[in-house]
Amino acid sequence: MAMDRGIHPRNGSGDSDGATRDQDIVTGDVCNLEIIPQLARLPAETLDAMKSMCAIRRFRAGQILLDAGDQPEFFGIVRSGILRLQKTMLDGRQQIVGLMVEGDMFGKVFDGPQQFAVEAATDVEIFTLLRKPFEDLLLRSPELDQVVLVNIMNELDRARDWMIIVANPRVKGRLAGFILFCCTRFASVHDVLQQGAGSAVDVRIPIGRSDLANSLGTRPETISRALHALADDGSIVIKRPDLIEICDFAALGSEAGEEELPTHGSFKELVRSLAWRAA
Amino acid sequence: MAMDRGIHPRNGSGDSDGATRDQDIVTGDVCNLEIIPQLARLPAETLDAMKSMCAIRRFRAGQILLDAGDQPEFFGIVRSGILRLQKTMLDGRQQIVGLMVEGDMFGKVFDGPQQFAVEAATDVEIFTLLRKPFEDLLLRSPELDQVVLVNIMNELDRARDWMIIVANPRVKGRLAGFILFCCTRFASVHDVLQQGAGSAVDVRIPIGRSDLANSLGTRPETISRALHALADDGSIVIKRPDLIEICDFAALGSEAGEEELPTHGSFKELVRSLAWRAA
DNA sequence: CGGTATTTTGAGTATCGTCAAGGCCAGTGG
DNA sequence: CCACTGGCCTTGACGATACTCAAAATACCG
């Protein structure tokens, strides 16, 4: 398992049937935590303390980092790659409740068990911090505590934004919302946004149809149909199964049932400003 | 607006059309923050500091506490009543992304604007703490910081649990999930759970059909049909529009597509153990 | 070039959204 | 005390959408 698709690495499998555990590789690499912008602003002594309890661990696509019900032994910060948070239902349905990218934090501190399984959607590198010393440091460093607090509050907002996407009554609208979500949420992730022809933007969907269906509360067939329906509308062009060119941001926004108060200004402007930064 | 229905107080209106703002009543009451269990464990000096910057404000059902886009001037802790977090879409759809009850915290600290409107779903009492002094206290008191952090992490887990409910492909399943969610999430809230006949449990649904539809990503008519479908199955009895007797927990769980790993043990046991505590 | 997994398409059925009308309950005013 | 009013909940009918099962087409891998 864990079959990468050449230039388009993907998750191990839509149904994660071959998922394995804890076959990670602990490296002796330096933990250059300062590559995470939020952490770079921490006082040097706090950062040093974190580095001293930190290890980089690598997992392959499909591996399970944490299982639901675990009392996680480490707090994690994504260094590269994409993780998916999910829960498996008794009927076999797998619901994805979040995707985590570079700079995102996961794991529990001071409190109960992990409620959701954390799996590698692609090959990933994780900064891992042992739980107990990290908790102690949190109590000693208000600055770190603040960073973690802000991070989790943002995560909460994003979870709710995602909820709005998932609650859209039409799958077509959910998909439109997800594509736009990718543009903002994953703008900083390598290889997700690319300059298309002219004013167009290319989005690489980092997960397969199966995961997409599990994320949006529907089935792969319906995803496929809805995607081609968007293409028929002229809102997008499907260049490859996993590569979408956005032609009409307004149409996607309208399908997604855009929220009031466009605090962000024009979506398209935002995306374009972000897109070329990574390039 | 804000019409209470005698013994069944409800939200001001399903569509919140008569929503007003800031007509709250600031009282001179003592802020007995220690009635919130998590806060009661704080050091006395931290608690005193909080009390000194705290005021109780009361809002009527339907009033808006915070609007999306606001830079909230206060951090809030619910003392009594139910708040709804929601976003209004351009097409008029209102999506509810969370309900907050006694002990729940809301508002932003150290960071950006409020992303979701906060409205009173019932008459509410709120402990309000001015933002700046509260932020300063957070930096000085690791214990308080920890309480807030744990609270938000729990809120994140609950948001994701809710997402799983909302992502259920059938409305009947979403409704079943919501009813079970009420049992755990609102178990501690006055008047939500009551002893039914024999082994049955009565659940008072604290929001109207319209809010329920907005919460579950569907329409009031469909909610009504799904609810009666559950009743026809024998899983529940509709005693009043807002009072549900649960007859068959297993059937509801099955409809909801229960998650794997019943960490909680029997749902029914859990509910019963919680239910009579309040009585 | 074949094998495998993924994606797409097709047909039939179930579910849901929509529009419209009727019913129930509480509060109001005669 | 009773009819009236307004809000909410329910029911009905019909078209649109999505799920299911099955099979074909495509992309990817060695």
pLDDT reported for residue A2: 34
Q: Say if residue B47's pLDDT is above 80.
A: yes
Count of CB atoms situated within 10 Å of the CB of A117 = 24
Q: Do A257 and B168 touch (CB under 8 A)?
A: no
Q: Say if residue A17's pLDDT is above 50.
A: no
pLDDT reported for residue A279: 41
Spacing of C-alpha A245 from chain mean position: 20
Kindly list the strands in the beta sheet with B117-120, ordered across the sheet, starting from the edge strand earlier in the chain.
B64-66, B117-120, B83-88, B94-100
- Spacing of B171 CA from C24 C1' in Å: 25
- Spacing of A70 CA from D21 C1' in Å: 37
CA atoms within 13 A on the CB side of B74: 18
Interface test with B, best of A64, A86, A115 (most B CBs within 10 A): A115
**How close does chain B come to A40, measured CA to CA in Å?**
17
Greater confidence (A259 vs B114) lies with B114
Question: Distances in Å between the alpha carbon of B156 and those of A20, A53, A154, B85?
Answer: 27, 26, 10, 14
Residue with tokens 């009635």: B35
Greater confidence (B77 vs A204) lies with B77
pLDDT reported for residue B24: 54
Please give the torsion angle defined by the CA atoms of residues B20, B25, B30 and B32, in that order, rounded to the nearest 10 degrees: -20
Contact between residue B149 and residue B156 where contact means Cβ atoms under 8 Å apart: no
- Give the whole-angstrom CA distance, residue B40 versus residue B33: 7
**How close does chain B come to A153, measured CA to CA in Å?**
7
- Spacing of B220 CA from D10 C1' in Å: 10
pLDDT reported for residue A21: 47
Q: Is the CB of A217 under 7 A from strand C?
A: no
Mean pLDDT taken over chain B = 83
**What are B146-203's pLDDT values in tens digits?**
999 999 999 999 999 999 999 999 999 999 999 999 888 887 777 777 766 667 789 9
- Give the whole-angstrom CA distance, residue A224 versus residue B106: 39
Which protein residue has its CA closest to C1' of D27?
A241
Query: Given its phi and psi angles, is residue B249 left (phi above 0), alpha (psi -120 to 50 degrees) or beta?
Result: alpha
Greater confidence (B197 vs B58) lies with B58
Nearest CA in chain B to A96: B164
Q: Say if residue B16's pLDDT is above 50.
A: no
- Give the whole-angstrom CA distance, residue B114 versus residue B107: 7
The residue count of chain B comes to 279
Query: Given its phi and psi angles, is residue B217 left (phi above 0), alpha (psi -120 to 50 degrees) or beta?
Result: left
CA atoms within 13 A on the CB side of B120: 32
Nearest CA in chain A to B114: A157
- Give the whole-angstrom CA distance, residue B151 versus residue B149: 5
Q: Is A152 helix (H, G, I), strand (E, B) or coil?
A: helix
Give bridge partners of residue B55 from the DSSP assignment: B128
The reported pTM is 0.86
Look up residue A129 and give its two tokens: 């911090």
Residues above pLDDT 90, as percent of chain A: 57
The residue count of chain A comes to 279
**What are A107-134's pLDDT values in tens digits?**
999 988 999 999 998 889 999 999 999 9
Q: Is B120 helix (H, G, I), strand (E, B) or coil?
A: strand
- Give the whole-angstrom CA distance, residue A110 versus residue B145: 11
Question: Which residues, 6 or more positions from B156, have their beta carbon under 8 angstroms from its beta carbon?
Answer: A152, A155, A156, A159
Amino acid at B230: L
- Closest nucleotide relative to residue B13's CA, C1' based: D7
**What are A53-96's pLDDT values in tens digits?**
999 999 988 889 999 888 888 999 999 888 999 999 887 788 99
Q: Is the CB of B212 under 7 A from strand C?
A: no
Q: Do A93 and B257 touch (CB under 8 A)?
A: yes
CA atoms within 13 A on the CB side of B93: 26
Q: Is B194 helix (H, G, I), strand (E, B) or coil?
A: strand
Handedness of CA B193, B172, A177, A60 (dihedral sign): positive
Protein-nucleic contacts, chain A 159-188 to strand C, CB < 7 Å: 169
Q: Do B145 and A150 touch (CB under 8 A)?
A: no
- Give the whole-angstrom CA distance, residue A124 versus residue A173: 30
pLDDT reported for residue A192: 74
Protein-nucleic contacts, chain B 6-65 to strand C, CB < 7 Å: 6
- Give the whole-angstrom CA distance, residue B191 versus residue B207: 13
Listing DSSP states for A33-69 in one string gives GGGSHHHHTS-HHHHHHHHHTEEEEEE-TT-EEE-TT
Structure confidence at residue B277 as a pLDDT band (50, 70, 90): very low
Using a CB-CB distance cutoff of 8 angstroms, which residues of chain B are in contact with residue A111?
150, 153-154
Amino acid at A54: C
**How close does chain B come to A64, measured CA to CA in Å?**
16
Q: What is the 3-state secondary structure (H, E, C) of A202-239?
A: EEECCCCHHHHHHHHCCCHHHHHHHHHHHHHHCCEEEE
Most confident of the following: A20-24, A272-276, B139-143: B139-143
